[in-house]
Amino acid sequence: MSNAQLILLDKRNQPLKDYLVAVAASDGLTLRGVEIMASPAKGETALLKGQVLIPPLEAYDFDLKKLLDATLATIQLEEDTVVSVDQFIERASEDDAVREALKRSLPRLRQALEKLLKEFVKNEAVELIRQRRIDALYKLKQLNDELKGKNIVCIDIEATDVSTKPEADIIQVSICDADGNEVLNQLINPGYDIPENEKHNITTEMVADAPYATQAWDAIHNALLNADIVLAYSTESDFAYLENTASKKQLPFELDYNTWLDVAELARDLIGAMRWHSERMYWFFKTPKLTDAYEKIVAEPFPGDAHDALDDARATMTLFKAMLEKGRASDVAPKPKKEKKKAEPVSNNLLAMAFAQAKQKAKS
């Protein structure tokens, strides 16, 4: 009878860091110094060792059983070789008696791994992430009710440079309605050769016969003015493009930023990865790319061209509606308000304090 067993080797020499838990929550984690070993007997050379991979915690709802099963399904042997625990046992030995002994020790390995995973799911960083998601769902639930019957459009803009550059000019504006129907899709001629840019595929030749911003402005401006709510994936940049264009070209500008709603911010709070800013010493949530947010929340491949304004506007609208549905279907409730404690009288005079307390009791 074999004495072989599966052992969890934990050679870490320091406690688990919060920032590592945050990384594991979104991306999973290769936990250095923690391995699974197939040991033939005490003191003998290991039959096989494998690296423990912590799966993305949030993808498994921070559920210990799901995480445990996922961890045992992904043991890393080499850089490109990942096996399940059953395959790990098969590779460890060709001896049936050894394999059976390894299988019998599996419950103990599960217990050890469960204890390890508890370090992650019980960490304070996980509670911060959970609360952010709850707050996001509650906000979406509110928006789902508040926006019923509203005229909602979605805009996306392509430009020659980022919105923070004063010289940046609009070269495409696309607007769709709540059903994804085209409201406006206009190429704009900036009046000069368009520099190469990885963020769009628009060339100088494509806009040669397109109107200038001054000629297309009324149609763009009016389409947005007629809407109750304007969506964008990063409202700040799209609004800035329009505001700067109006300022440079001396065009009318009556758009109200308070009626704009940033879908990127909603996606950030719902699925964005939490990270620790080591220099400024605070937690923050990363804003996902539109394509990533779409594929994760809508659970479908991103449609169309990610560098075309109309495709992006339609995708943003679809994403927004999918998020609203998640909010509507959730059973989240607002956080209960904490009752404010009555301020205790503060005094260095003990006699005055006693008198104040007696007076308070008399009132109640």
Q: Can you give the length of the chain in residues?
A: 364
pLDDT number for residue 43? 67
Residue 362 has pLDDT above 80, yes or no: no
Query: Strand, coil or helix: what is 65?
Result: helix
Q: 239 near 258, Cβ under 8 Å?
A: no
Give yes or no for a contact between 178 and 144, defined as CB atoms under 8 angstroms apart: no
Mean pLDDT of 14-42: 93
Cα 315 → chain centroid = 17
Regarding pTM above 0.75, the answer is yes
| pLDDT tens digits for range 176-186 | 999 999 999 99
Give tens-digit pLDDT for 13-25.
899 999 999 999 9
Decide which of 188 and 332 is more confident.
188
pLDDT tens figures, 82-117:
999 999 999 999 999 999 999 999 999 999 999 999
The pLDDT assigned to 78 comes to 83
Q: Among the listed ranges 41-50, 51-60, 65-74, 222-231, which one has the minimum average pLDDT value?
A: 41-50
Write out pLDDT tens, residues 227-262: 999 999 999 999 999 999 999 999 999 999 999 999
User: Over the chain, what is the mean pLDDT?
Assistant: 91
Residues 6+ apart with CB under 8 A from 188: 169, 170, 171, 172, 173, 207, 210, 211, 212, 213, 216
CATH architecture designation of domain 137-330 = 2-Layer Sandwich (3.30)
Residues 6+ apart with CB under 8 A from 10: 33, 34, 116
Characterize 303-333 residue by residue with b for buried, 16 or more Cβ atoms within 10 angstroms of its Cβ, and e for exposed: eeebebbbbbbbbbbbbbbbbbebbeebeee
Is residue 92 within 8 A of residue 47, CB to CB? The reply is yes
